Amino acid sequence: MNGDPRSILLAPVVSEKSYGLIAERGKYTFKVHPRAHKTQIRQAVEQVFDVTVTDVNVSKVPAKPKRRGMTSGTRAGWKKAVVTVAEGQTIEAFGPGV
C-alpha cells in the first residue's frame, strides 16, 4: 500500500445487500487494503470519485473454511469499508441503475 488512493480501494462489493444500502441510505461498500484505516479510506474515496464522505465504517470479513471432496482449505479473509456520501451525491462506478 503506497500513497496512491487506488491501492487502498481494491474493488467495489457487488451483492444484493450492498446495492440495497446504496438505494436506501447512500452507503457504498468497498473491499479495501487490510492495513488501511478510516482516514485513508475517506481520502481515497473523495479523491477517486470526487464526492464528500460523511461517514466510514470498517469491518473485517473472517476467513472461511472450504472443502471440495477430501481437499480442504480456507477462503482468504478481507477488510470491508462501508462509506456514506453526502446527501444528493452518488458514485457512478456502481452503475446507472442504482
d(CA 21, CA 35): 25
Residue 26 lies in domain: 5-65+74-87
Considering the entire predicted model, what is its pTM?
A: 0.86
Q: Which pLDDT value is given to residue 53? A: 96
Closest CA to 45 of 35, 32, 34: 32
Q: pLDDT (tens digit, 9 = 90+) per residue, 69-84?
A: 999 999 999 999 999 9
Domains in the chain, number: 1
For residues 24 and 63, what is the distance between their CA atoms, to the nearest angstrom? Answer: 29
Mean pLDDT over each residue of the chain, to the nearest integer: 91
Residue 97 counted as domain residue: no
